[in-house]
Amino acid sequence: DAGVIQSPRHEVTEMGQEVTLRCKPISGHNSLFWYRQTMMRGLELLIYFNNNVPIDDSGMPEDRFSAKMPNASFSTLKIQPSEPRDSAVYFCASSSGLPNEQFFGPGTRLTVL
Amino acid sequence: AQSVAQPEDQVNVAEGNPLTVKCTYSVSGNPYLFWYVQYPNRGLQFLLKYITGDNLVKGSYGFEAEFNKSQTSFHLKKPSALVSDSALYFCAVRDKNNNAGNMLTFGGGTRLMVKP
Whether the CB-CB separation of B23 and B112 falls below 8 Å is answered with no
- For chain B, the C-alpha Rg in angstroms (whole number) is 14
Residue B101 pLDDT > 70: no
How many beta carbons lie within 10 A of that of residue A97, not counting itself?
12
Q: Are B111 and B56 in contact (CB under 8 A)?
A: no
**Helix or strand (DSSP H, E) at A49:** strand A42-50
Tell me which chain B residues have a C-beta less than 8 angstroms from the C-beta of A106: 42-43
**In angstroms, what separates the C-alpha of A83 from chain B's closest C-alpha?**
22
Q: Distance (Å, rounded) from C-alpha A65 to C-alpha B7?
A: 32
Residue of A nearest to B107 (CA): A43
Asked if residue A29 lies in contact with residue A94, where contact means CB atoms within 8 angstroms, the answer is yes
| pLDDT at position A36 over 70 | yes
Rounded Cα distance between B9 and B112, Å, is: 9
Model pLDDT, residue A106: 96
The yes-or-no verdict on residue A49 having pLDDT over 70 is yes
- pLDDT value, residue B78: 98
Please report which confidence band the pLDDT of residue B97 belongs to, taking 50, 70 and 90 as the band edges.
confident
Residue A100: predicted pLDDT: 83
What is the average per-residue pLDDT within B16-37? Answer: 95
Q: What is the mean pLDDT of residues A43-62?
A: 92
Q: Rounded CA gap, A45 and B43, in Å?
A: 14
Please determine, for residue A1, whether its predicted confidence score (pLDDT) is greater than 70: no
User: Given pLDDT bands bounded at 50, 70 and 90, which one contains residue B1?
Assistant: confident
Phi, psi of B61, rounded to the nearest 5 degrees: 60, 25
DSSP code for B49:
E
Residue A53 burial by Cβ neighbours in a 10 Å radius (0-12, 13-18, 19+)? exposed
Residues A101, A1 contacting (CB under 8 angstroms): no
Q: Is A94 on the interface with B (CB under 8 A)?
A: no
Mutation target vs A (from B6, B34, B44, B105; most A CBs, 10 A cutoff)? B44
Residues above pLDDT 70, as percent of chain B: 97
Taking the C-alpha atoms of residue A72 and residue A34, their distance in angstroms, rounded to an integer, is 15
Q: Does A70 touch chain B (CB under 8 A)?
A: no
Q: What integer is the mean pLDDT of B45-49? A: 96
pLDDT digits (tens, 9 = 90+) for B27-41: 988 899 999 999 998
Please state the rounded mean pLDDT for residues A69-87. Answer: 96
Cβ of A43 and B109 within 8 Å? yes
CB atoms within 10 A of CB B98: 19
Give burial (CB, 10 Å; 0-12/13-18/19+) of A48. buried
